[in-house]
Structure formats: structure tokens, C-alpha cells
């Protein structure tokens, strides 16, 4: 089967979870006897170039601009489809979208129009949620349905002040106001309206042009359905459980401290870890939290979270880990802390920790909650609650909990690739029948 994986960036040029997932999936599909291509935009270049990566799959960087170096959607789309047709691609598997400058929804539309089977795996909740939190007003859990007035008001107000309660009240107030057409036409308001409109347009494109949609978690299946994706189009292929060196499990009794791994920013809740530092030092001396991950500046401060860490010796920044370093380093800690404010689709970090039998303390966001309950591999703390996070750290430190760390069977990338092959085959059957 000729399959094209489609993303904005390649691994290891891009080191995000989506790129790593696709890299391992492409290698597994290749191992199973498929002819695999990986399509990405050749940003700012009017030519297509090819190469090899991984275990031998072909990389196709399709022209990202026209011959005048202008970003012309029609030219980019034509370039993309031509490269697909020239290689007789049977299935285009879209794993990432990024607006007109990257992989756009128009590419999905034109690929299906060219009678190439289309499969979409959405790796991020922010494809449906403007804030990425799936918490209305920054507090109340949301079902993920895109509603113009509700989503626009939430985008505007959920972080408007330093008080979550005030933000929720403002969100409700503006939700009512945004139902009035005259209010929606106010220039400053139109920005938020436009953002939600883009979400609606994108989901509409997926609804109409994806032959199949894959969800990595069960909770997101409900989000897809409530936004009009037909149930018979949706397949559940759970997040992969990574392979590990079994020798790592022999060192469990030497574990100390806690670790955070992820992007070092407010959305991932790093500020909550900083706010714990003084209390931890006073009430649990010797307990420390090490932070790993790429750093982005705090949008509301001249300094950064990394600079702020200089004031502490028990919450420490340790830099960025290479993929092969993650498991050995994680194995040194008593637990992983993931205080994210944004909805996590299906955290690979949780699957890695579960495989190592390292418990995870995570905030009450949909993806993390589902995985921790499914595999009994950690504790959930109340969303945005520093006090509850502290209590969960104390419970792990004092050994109050025992976890079963349930391990999913046949859940490596080789078997996951087999599940995708079944999805691809069903899509191709539809074209053959027609």
C-alpha cells in the first residue's frame, strides 16, 4: 500500500509529540511492507525536493510558495496534489494542520477531490478549542462543541484577569453579548469571532473531506461526534505504549524527587510548580522538582520562568532531553508531575511513565485523566488547584498509594501500524465500490 504521512514538520527537525509519533508510525508501516512517504511543506521555497529518512521512507517537501516566492494557496495545493498523483499515493494520512502557510484544510479538500483516500488523526485539542483548555471561562469543564458566542467569549475572557471567578463571570456576560450581531461586528471583538469561525471551518472540512478520523483517546471521540463527525467515520487507536529497557525497572528503589517534562510555559502549569517551592522547602525539606523541556517566555513578564527559577534550589531547570534520554532520566524520579491547564490529547509522557512504573500526578484535564484511570498509574489533582497538587505530591512522597500500572497488550508501533492499515483498507474499499 502506498501511504503518505502529512505534517508541517519532520522528525527530528521538529521534536514535538506529533512528529515523534509519525516518525515511529512511518517506520512501522514500512516494516510491515508498505511504501511510505512523508509529505511536509518546503517553506518559503518554490520547488519540491525529496530525500530519505528513518528506515528508508521517502520524504517529499512540496513547494511552499509560488515562483515569485508568494504564498499562493492554489499553487501550493496544486503542488501537493501533483506530487501525490505522480507517486500514485493511495492514502493520505493527515496528522497535523497549520493554516495557509503549512498544511491547510484546503489540502485535505483537494486530496479527496483527487480521489485519494484521506485519513485524519488529530493530536491536539486546540483544533476544536481556541484556548486549548476545554474549560469554559477557564474553570468549568466543556464538552468541546464549537458554539460561536460561547467559544468567542471564553477565548476573550478566560484569562482576562488574575481571578478565575471573575473571568468566569465575564465569560458568561460576554457569551450573552456575543449573540448580538452588532456586538460581534466591533473591530476588537471580531478578532475573537474570527478565530472561532476558523475552528468551525476546519472541523467542517474534516467532517466533509476526511474518509476516516482517528482518535487517540475515548474522550475525544465524544468531542468529534458533538461537532458532527459521523460515528462510522471514527476509529479509536489508543496512544502507543513505548518499548523500554527492562533493566531500568531494577532501579525502582533508588528514585528520588519529582520531574516535570514538557514545554516550560503557563499553559503547561509551570507557574504552579514555582508557587509550591517555598511551601515544599518549609514542610517537605529535601523534596525537589526538576523541570525538563523547551522554554518559552511568559507573555506577561519581561523575565521568564527559567529566570524566576534562580530564586529556588528545590525547583530546578535541567534543560531539554533528547528522546533517547527521556526514559533513563524519568526512571530516577519518584513521580512525574504534569500540571497542565490545556487539555492533553493522549500524553506520551504518561504512557512512558506507566511503562516504567513511575506514577504520574496530573491535573484534571480530559486526556490525562482518561489515561491515568485506564492504566491506574497515578493521581489526579483538582484543576488549577495548587493546594491539591501539593497534597498529591505529599501522598506520593509518603507512599500512601499503590498503583497497578496496567500494561496494554499489543500496543507497540508495529501493532498500531496494523490498526491503521485496517483503517486505510476500509477507506480504499469505499473508492473501489464507487
Domain ranges of the chain: 2-121+237-241+412-433, 135-195, 246-397
Report the SS3 class of residue 291.
Answer: strand
- Of 80, 279, 121, 317, which Cα lies nearest the Cα of 212? 121
Whole-prediction pTM value?
0.90
Rounded to an integer, what distance in angstroms lies between the CA atom of residue 43 and that of residue 318?
Answer: 32
pLDDT tens-digit profile, the chain (434 residues)? 999 999 999 987 766 788 989 999 999 999 999 999 999 999 888 889 999 988 899 999 999 888 888 888 888 899 999 999 999 999 999 999 987 678 999 999 999 999 999 999 999 999 999 999 999 999 999 999 999 999 999 999 999 998 999 999 999 999 999 888 888 888 888 889 999 999 999 999 999 999 999 999 999 999 999 999 999 999 999 999 888 888 887 667 789 999 999 988 888 999 999 999 999 999 999 999 999 998 765 544 434 566 666 667 899 999 999 888 999 999 999 999 999 999 989 899 999 999 999 999 999 999 999 999 999 999 999 999 999 999 999 999 998 789 999 998 878 999 999 999 999 999 999 887 76
Write down the CATH number for the domain with range 2-121+237-241+412-433.
3.40.50.2000
Report the SS3 class of residue 20.
Answer: helix
Cβ contact 349:262 at 8 Å? yes
Radius of gyration of the chain (CA): 23
Decide if 2-121+237-241+412-433 and 246-397 have a common fold. Answer: yes
Cβ contact 196:187 at 8 Å? no
Q: Alpha helix (H) ranges present in 138-232?
A: 148-157, 164-177, 181-184, 187-209, 218-226
pLDDT, tens digit, 9 for 90 and up, residues 161-201: 989 999 999 999 999 998 888 888 888 888 899 999 999 99
Q: Alpha helix (H) ranges present in 45-147?
A: 73-86, 105-113
Prior bond of 199 cis (ω within 30°)? no
DSSP line for 344-373: PSS-HHHHHHHHHT--EEEES-HHHHHHHH
- Of 177, 178, 207, which Cα lies nearest the Cα of 194? 178
Bridge-based pairing of strands 289-292 and 212-215 is: unpaired
Q: Domain 246-397's class?
A: alpha beta
Give residues with Cβ within 8 angstroms of 190, minimum separation 6: 184
Which residue has 484511570 as its cell numbers? Answer: 373
348-356 vs 17-31: helix crossing angle, rounded to 10: 70
Q: Alpha helix (H) ranges present in 64-180?
A: 73-86, 105-113, 148-157, 164-177
Rounded to an integer, what distance in angstroms lies between the CA atom of residue 83 and that of residue 72?
Answer: 17
Rounded to an integer, what distance in angstroms lies between the CA atom of residue 273 and that of residue 68?
Answer: 49
Amino acid at each position: 500500500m502506498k501511504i503518505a504521512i502529512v505534517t508541517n514538520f519532520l522528525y527530528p527537525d521538529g521534536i514535538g509529540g506529533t512528529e515523534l509519533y509519525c516518525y515511529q508510525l512511518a517506520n512501522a508501516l514500512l516494516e510491515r511492507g508498505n511504501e511510505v512517504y512523508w509529505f511536509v511543506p518546503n517553506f518559503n521555497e518554490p520547488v519540491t525536493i525529496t530525500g530519505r529518512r528513518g528506515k528508508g521512507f521517502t520524504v517529499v517537501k512540496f513547494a511552499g510558495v509560488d515562483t515569485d516566492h508568494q504564498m499562493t494557496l492554489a499553487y501550493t495545493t496544486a503542488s501537493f496534489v501533483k506530487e501525490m498523483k505522480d507517486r500514485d499515493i493511495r492514502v493520505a494520512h493527515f496528522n497535523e494542520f497549520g493554516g495557509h502557510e503549512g498544511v491547510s484544510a484546503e489540502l485535505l479538500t483537494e486530496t479527496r477531490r483527487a480521489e485519494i483516500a484521506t485519513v485524519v488523526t488529530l493530536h491536539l485539542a486546540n483544533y476544536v478549542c481556541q484556548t486549548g483548555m476545554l474549560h469554559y471561562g477557564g474553570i468549568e469543564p466543556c464538552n468541546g462543541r464549537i458554539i460561536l458566542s460561547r467559544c468567542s467569549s471564553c477565548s476573550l475572557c478566560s484569562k482576562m484577569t488574575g481571578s478565575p471567578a471573575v473571568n468566569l463571570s465575564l465569560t458568561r456576560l460576554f457569551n450573552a453579548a456575543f449573540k448580538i450581531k452588532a456586538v460581534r461586528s466591533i473591530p476588537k471583538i471580531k478578532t475573537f469571532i474570527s478565530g472561532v469561525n476558523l475552528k468551525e471551518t476546519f472541523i467542517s472540512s474534516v467532517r466533509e473531506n476526511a474518509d476516516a478520523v482517528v482518535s487517540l483517546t475515548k474522550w475525544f471521540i465524544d468531542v468529534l461526534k458533538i461537532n458532527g463527525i459521523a460515528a462510522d467515520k471514527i476509529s479509536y487507536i489508543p496512544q502507543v505504549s513505548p518499548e523500554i529497557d527492562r533493566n531500568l525497572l531494577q532501579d525502582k528503589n533508588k528514585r528520588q524527587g519529582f520531574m516535570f517534562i514538557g514545554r516550560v510555559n503557563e499553559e503547561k502549569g509551570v507557574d504552579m510548580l514555582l508557587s509550591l517551592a517555598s511551601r515544599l522547602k518549609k514542610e517537605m525539606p529535601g523534596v525537589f522538582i526538576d523541570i525538563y523541556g523547551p522554554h518559552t517566555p511568559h507573555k506577561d513578564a519581561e523575565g521568564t520562568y527559567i529566570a524566576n527559577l534562580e530564586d529556588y534550589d528545590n525547583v530546578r531547570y535541567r534543560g531539554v532531553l533528547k528522546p533517547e534520554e527521556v526514559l533513563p532520566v524519568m526512571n530516577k524520579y519518584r513521580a512525574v508531575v504534569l500540571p497542565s491547564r490545556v487539555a492533553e490529547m493522549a500524553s506520551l509522557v504518561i504512557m512512558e511513565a506507566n511503562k516504567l512504573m513511575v506514577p504520574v500526578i496530573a491535573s484534571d484535564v480530559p486526556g490525562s485523566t482518561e489515561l491515568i484511570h485506564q492504566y491506574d498509574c497515578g493521581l489526579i489533582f483538582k484543576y488549577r488547584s495548587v493546594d491539591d497538587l501539593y497534597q498529591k505530591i505529599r501522598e506520593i512522597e509518603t507512599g500512601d498509594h499503590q498503583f497497578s500500572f496496567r500494561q496494554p497488550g499489543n500496543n507497540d508501533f508495529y501493532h498500531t501500524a496494523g490498526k491503521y492499515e485496517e483503517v486505510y483498507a476500509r477507506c480504499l474499499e469505499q473508492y473501489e465500490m464507487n
